[in-house]
Chain A
């Protein structure tokens, strides 16, 4: 195929991807961008060019072992619903933007640890990025039929692709200074690429299995007669079982700790509940991706059994060999997608680490502590953009200068082993309080050097330049130091072997140091917060223990340098509101210190933000037991406060409603009075109307106030009832008289024929108040055209029951109990405001209660509502 055509296709493809990213960034609120599917698909950045080509290569030479890379994730992902949720919660709560930040914060904002993790990640991932570039370049050459890698950079298409990717990552990756913000554009583009690479891989799989061959059985039969077939397709004995186990464990760690995976899974997570979809959808994605790997590998082995074809390129060579160039182009594009997603996300993740955990904390704090917010944010962005370009360019030259003639899989696995060195401090930090920063640092360093000795050096050493005798004879001729068989351990293949020993030393050192050297109080504070996240998350900034002297003014100054005046002001206002602190407070407390550190963490990393904030505050040392004590007390205080708060809240709600109900008439009165005051030429009619309204609104206020006082007296028992024997008939007749005018106005007929003459003991004024309230409610809610209200008395169970019924449309089922609550009507009325304070029924209920009676509401069939109350039958 002509290289011009392929380049054109690449350009069009990249344009589409760029456009999708641009669109998603613009429409970042759209459900097309924010959904669990995009999230799950973005996790598939795990499947790189390595999956696309390397899996097939590995399957062709060593059978099913390629599956371990996917088995690990499939095994661990169901636990994510708890495990990853915890990691995500901690990260969101602390505005963590990378793996380095996570580990450094856990071990007490340790600057050196953050930088160390960053270095480990860069060392592990840059060769891996090179590999992706190599895959692009090689497959480009295969498809365009060039046999030699172009000698000069100017003619190398891969170089330009690398530059474009750097531009893409730099543009969409640095829209916000706060790196813990989501990168919606990039993630949506990655999700799209995940779909593309899967579909194209499935197409080629179906093509090989069903077009080139007659289905899986056919391939199996033909492949099984090839030499060495059998040994690859099963696990050979216990030793191989260990290899399988270790490789699965390795990939389990990789799916969580590879910087790009941490980026997409944790940093870019919009909602926790997306994890639910991931638990089944992502394993399904991996399964689909792997279904055809073995068939393509066998197919390649059969067809190319007499040719020298690199098994890594089977996927591409099979269609090319058979003259299906278009299909080959699809495969190329799929592999291209896989490669560039990896490159973009990895450089994004690494650039955040480089800037926030290495460059800024070690080189720019002095400058930032003097600069203005505009320059500072611009500098931060520039650092990240430069980091992205440098990473990609270094990766490019790495691939150009070193003859990377190793298979895709092996270099990928070395990356995995290096990254795995972070596992003890990461998982230890999540579950073990005692894990200390010194333990983490030395563990990582030892583990890294063991990896270098047992894997990287023997694997990469150039036998023409150096003596390689130590590989077979051991260092200084000592047998026990053979890098591939350290201490005589012979059962493992090189990668599981290196993984085993490096992690072994790493864990031992981490544990021994942590147990013997107690970390400082800051570490322990964060250890508690991380390990017991569910307990401390609800305490927010209260979980942070800090003692010392600090001024809000100074902290504000630091914040302003990064966030600008406006955002600082807003953030601080929110903080003061949250903790109900006076805005004019001069002294900052632990909560403000922690809150401010978190505010800056996203922009400059946790270690730097700690250093900057502590440069303006005077901190006192606290002992470890003191930290634990304070945390314990905060926790207890919170629990006992809960009940109190609930009661407070009810009181607050009541006061809020009272205030609202008072303000409403006052609003009318003020507006109308202002008009009357300003407008001298007002017509006399209107003037009268306004004055009338003012009077009636004033009455409304006094009614409300009386009702509130009434209710207060009744519910606290301050009101003494005047309990004497009365005739209920008389009381009802008087009450009906009182509402007669209201009934007439509403054209409602009141029927009191069912009232018997019964005598019992009660406070007549109060019961009359109840009956009037019930009658006027019934009048208001009775049928509009043919309003009828009935009042009836019944003796039931030795109690007097008074029933008030209307023929309106009844009360909503859910409201039947609630209408007796204070102000229920005011909030939930469904008709235009009736006259009333919203307290009538609440007062009635109190009155009936103090008479030892009951009151309730029900609906009648076919229509109407009935309110019933009871009075005990007593005679003096």
Chain B
């Protein structure tokens, strides 16, 4: 069973993503902010992380930097899910090493497809 970590501070977004990926037979972990995300990633080594950018305290960029600088975690696939959708935001996200950048609001079908593709 593939492990997915959902990181977002919006309860309703988390709720919907959790439902979707549980139905797709993923083991779902949830973090409400960046610090929690790092903790959970360290402990559970997920295969993929869906990462919001604008979060309190530790933001998505910082989480990604942490992952990329860690020997154990730098292979984890990362998809940024963010309402920031200027080209410069997207370029920055990809430059930092995210595998995909999906703008909010997104199509859930497309998201599931992208996740599956990345985990192939």
Interface pair A666/B19, CB less than 8 Å apart: no
Report chain A residues within 8 Å CB of B33: 832
Q: Which residues of chain A from 643 to 692 have any CB-CB distance to chain B below 8 Å in the complex? A: 656, 659-660, 663-672, 674-675, 678-679, 686, 689-690
A671/B13 contact (C-beta < 8 A), A679-B23, A686-B19, A830-B57 known = yes
Contact for B108 among A675, A696, A829, A833, CB less than 8 A: A675
Contact for B10 among A573, A656, A689, A833, CB less than 8 A: A833
The tally of residues in B whose CB lies under 8 Å from a CB in A reads: 28
Interface pair B56/A830, CB less than 8 Å apart: yes
Interface pair A672/B16, CB less than 8 Å apart: yes
Report chain A residues within 8 Å CB of B25: none
Interface pair B108/A674, CB less than 8 Å apart: yes
Interface pair B87/A577, CB less than 8 Å apart: yes
Residue of A664, A666, A693 most packed against chain B (CB within 10 A): A664
Interface pair A675/B16, CB less than 8 Å apart: yes
A671/B10 contact (C-beta < 8 A), A663-B104, A664-B83, A830-B56 known = no
Contact for B83 among A667, A671, A832, CB less than 8 A: A667
> A-facing mask of B84-110, CB < 8 A → 1, else 0?
101110010000000000001111110
Q: Which residues of A contact B (CB under 8 A)?
A: 573-574, 577, 656, 659-660, 663-672, 674-675, 678-679, 686, 689-690, 693, 696-697, 827-833
Report chain B residues within 8 Å CB of A668: 10, 12-13, 15-16
- Cα A828 to Cα B33 in complex, Å, equals 13
Provide 18 A-B residue pairs closer than 8 Å at the C-beta atoms, listed in order of the A residue: A663-B104, A665-B12, A666-B104, A666-B105, A667-B13, A667-B104, A667-B105, A667-B106, A668-B12, A668-B13, A668-B15, A671-B17, A672-B16, A674-B108, A675-B19, A693-B15, A829-B56, A830-B57
- Cα A830 to Cα B32 in complex, Å, equals 12
B28 within 8 A of A: no
| Closest CB in chain B relative to A511 CB, distance in Å | 47
A831/B56 contact (C-beta < 8 A), A663-B104, A672-B16 known = yes
Main secondary structure of the interface of A (DSSP, over half): helix
Q: Which residues of chain B from 13 to 38 have any CB-CB distance to chain A below 8 Å in the complex? A: 13, 15-17, 19-20, 23, 32-33
Q: Which residue of A lies closest to B86 (CB)?
A: A656
Report chain A residues within 8 Å CB of B57: 830
Residue of A574, A659, A668, A686 most packed against chain B (CB within 10 A): A668
Q: Which residue of A lies closest to B33 (CB)?
A: A832
- Cα A194 to Cα B16 in complex, Å, equals 61
| Closest CB in chain B relative to A670 CB, distance in Å | 4
| Closest CB in chain A relative to B87 CB, distance in Å | 5
Contact for A659 among B19, B20, B83, B87, CB less than 8 A: B83
Contact for B54 among A670, A689, A827, CB less than 8 A: A827
Interface pair B16/A663, CB less than 8 Å apart: no
Report chain A residues within 8 Å CB of B13: 664, 667-668, 671
Report chain B residues within 8 Å CB of A678: 108-109
Report chain B residues within 8 Å CB of A664: 10, 13, 83, 104
Q: Which residue of B lies closest to A672 (CB)?
A: B16
A663/B54 contact (C-beta < 8 A), A671-B20, A679-B23 known = no
Report chain A residues within 8 Å CB of B105: 663, 666-667, 669-671
- Cα A574 to Cα B92 in complex, Å, equals 12
- Cα A574 to Cα B95 in complex, Å, equals 13
A832/B104 contact (C-beta < 8 A), A660-B83, A667-B83, A679-B23 known = no
Report chain B residues within 8 Å CB of A660: 54, 83-84
Report chain A residues within 8 Å CB of B10: 664, 667-668, 833
Q: Which residues of B contact A (CB under 8 A)?
A: 9-13, 15-17, 19-20, 23, 32-33, 54, 56-57, 83-84, 86-88, 91, 104-109
Chain A to chain B: the 10 pairs with minimum beta-carbon distance, closest first: A668-B12, A671-B16, A663-B83, A667-B105, A667-B104, A670-B105, A660-B83, A693-B12, A674-B108, A666-B105
Q: Which residue of B lies closest to A827 (CB)?
A: B54
| Closest CB in chain A relative to B73 CB, distance in Å | 18
Q: Which residue of A lies closest to B109 (CB)?
A: A674
Interface pair A674/B107, CB less than 8 Å apart: yes
- Cα A666 to Cα B105 in complex, Å, equals 6
A573/B87 contact (C-beta < 8 A), A667-B10, A671-B16, A830-B57 known = yes
Interface pair A697/B87, CB less than 8 Å apart: no
Q: Which residue of B lies closest to A671 (CB)?
A: B16
- Cα A340 to Cα B16 in complex, Å, equals 65
- Cα A400 to Cα B22 in complex, Å, equals 78
Report chain B residues within 8 Å CB of A577: 87-88
- Cα A420 to Cα B94 in complex, Å, equals 47
Add 9 more A-B contacts to A656-B86, A667-B10 (CB < 8 A): A665-B12, A668-B16, A672-B15, A678-B108, A686-B19, A696-B12, A828-B56, A829-B56, A830-B56
Interface pair B32/A832, CB less than 8 Å apart: yes
- Cα A674 to Cα B33 in complex, Å, equals 25
Report chain B residues within 8 Å CB of A656: 84, 86
- Cα A675 to Cα B23 in complex, Å, equals 11
- Cα A135 to Cα B67 in complex, Å, equals 51
Report chain A residues within 8 Å CB of B83: 659-660, 663-664, 667
Q: Which residue of B lies closest to A831 (CB)?
A: B56
| Closest CB in chain A relative to B109 CB, distance in Å | 7
Report chain A residues within 8 Å CB of B84: 656, 660
Q: Which residue of A lies closest to B103 (CB)?
A: A663
Report chain A residues within 8 Å CB of B54: 660, 827
Report chain B residues within 8 Å CB of A667: 10, 13, 83, 104-106
- Cα A831 to Cα B55 in complex, Å, equals 10
Contact for B12 among A674, A697, A831, A832, CB less than 8 A: A697
- Cα A258 to Cα B32 in complex, Å, equals 58
Report chain B residues within 8 Å CB of A670: 105-108
- Cα A685 to Cα B88 in complex, Å, equals 42
- Cα A832 to Cα B10 in complex, Å, equals 9
- Cα A436 to Cα B88 in complex, Å, equals 41
Q: Which residue of B lies closest to A576 (CB)?
A: B87
- Cα A666 to Cα B11 in complex, Å, equals 13
Q: Which residue of B lies closest to A662 (CB)?
A: B83
Report chain B residues within 8 Å CB of A659: 83
- Cα A829 to Cα B10 in complex, Å, equals 13
Q: Which residue of B lies closest to A826 (CB)?
A: B54
- Cα A665 to Cα B104 in complex, Å, equals 10
Interface pair A672/B12, CB less than 8 Å apart: yes
- Cα A674 to Cα B112 in complex, Å, equals 12
Report chain B residues within 8 Å CB of A675: 16, 19-20, 108
- Cα A839 to Cα B38 in complex, Å, equals 31
Q: Which residue of A lies closest to B81 (CB)?
A: A667
- Cα A689 to Cα B87 in complex, Å, equals 35
- Cα A221 to Cα B107 in complex, Å, equals 90
Residue of B9, B13, B17 most packed against chain A (CB within 10 A): B13
Report chain A residues within 8 Å CB of B91: 574
- Cα A284 to Cα B87 in complex, Å, equals 48
Report chain B residues within 8 Å CB of A829: 56
Report chain B residues within 8 Å CB of A696: 12
- Cα A664 to Cα B104 in complex, Å, equals 7
Residue of B19, B54, B84, B109 most packed against chain A (CB within 10 A): B19
Report chain B residues within 8 Å CB of A574: 91
- Cα A672 to Cα B14 in complex, Å, equals 10
Residue of A663, A666, A829, A830 most packed against chain B (CB within 10 A): A663
- Cα A152 to Cα B107 in complex, Å, equals 76
| Closest CB in chain B relative to A648 CB, distance in Å | 15
Residue of B57, B91, B107, B108 most packed against chain A (CB within 10 A): B108
- Cα A557 to Cα B16 in complex, Å, equals 47
- Cα A577 to Cα B83 in complex, Å, equals 19
Report chain B residues within 8 Å CB of A665: 12
Report chain B residues within 8 Å CB of A663: 83, 104-105
A671/B87 contact (C-beta < 8 A), A829-B56, A833-B10 known = no
